[in-house]
Structure 1
Amino acid sequence: MSRELSLKIALILTRKYGISMTDESKIPQDKINPTLGIEEENASTNKDATDSHFRPHTAPQSQGNPELIMNIPVEVQVVLGSTTMSVATLMNLGRGAVITLNKQIGDLVEIVVNGRVVARGEVIVLDDDTSRFGISLTELIGK
């Protein structure tokens, strides 16, 4: 199975069944086959297909087209801060309640993609629209 097809399968399973891409070893075959449009076959009539499942996989020789993944949407979150509170305190929150975070004004915020911190930056007010704010990146993680 090509890497491109594997990525498509993982995305479909994540969106349709809520199965994380890190859970691929736990994905039941009965979820994979209908997603791919594969009909169940009698195992005794297709022994080669069953045996090929256990053969070593070699990577395809072509490099593929990296532009295919460039339009895949990813969720980007900006974490302003966090706090810990009891369930009782959480349940008593109401309109106008103030939650104190562990960050101060001027501290860097974290940019998180798929649960991983990828950058840090400063909160800024946009020049062209002062009713909105953005993040000016100051540090890239892992580069």
Structure 2
Amino acid sequence: MTFQAPGFGLIQDIDVRLTVELGRTDLHLRDVLALGEESVVMLDRLVDEPLDVKVNGKLIARGEVVAEGNRFGLRILELVGPAQPALEA
């Protein structure tokens, strides 16, 4: 599924940053400084929860991680639009 709107062709080549947020946590600086190679940081998201997909910091979709060969990818599960307000943590 692709999004096409009248006049959208004028801006479709603009670079944007797409990020996938696995989860969040709050840490004290001393805890960040204590992180090492074997450290585990617990996040606020459950294993089976969809990941947030953001463009320039704005939530646009939710998805899940997929693996193909030796690379990771993202499968979009749902688009988040004005009719579906996003819950921000």
TM (norm. structure 1) is: 0.49
Matches for 1:87-98 after TM superposition, within 5 Å: 87-98=29-40
Higher RCO by CA contacts (8 Å cutoff, separation 6 or greater): 2
Q: Does 1:79 align with 2:21?
A: yes
CA RMSD of aligned residues (A): 1.5
Distance (whole Å) between structure 1 residues aligned to residue 46 and residue 67 of structure 2: 17
Please name the residue that 1:118 is paired with.
Answer: 60
Which residue identity does 1:141 align to in structure 2?
Answer: V
Matches for 1:1-143 after TM superposition, within 5 Å: 66-126=8-68, 130-142=69-81
Gaps of 5+ in 2: 1-6, 83-89
* Percent identity over paired residues: 34
TM (norm. structure 2) is: 0.76
Q: Which has the higher helix share?
A: 1
Q: Which has the higher strand share?
A: 2
* 4+ residue runs over 6 A deviation: none
Gaps of 5+ in 1: 1-64
Q: CA deviation at 1:120?
A: 0.2
Q: CA deviation at 1:135?
A: 1.2
Which structure: larger Rg?
Answer: 1
Q: CA deviation at 1:96?
A: 1.8
Q: How many residues align?
A: 76
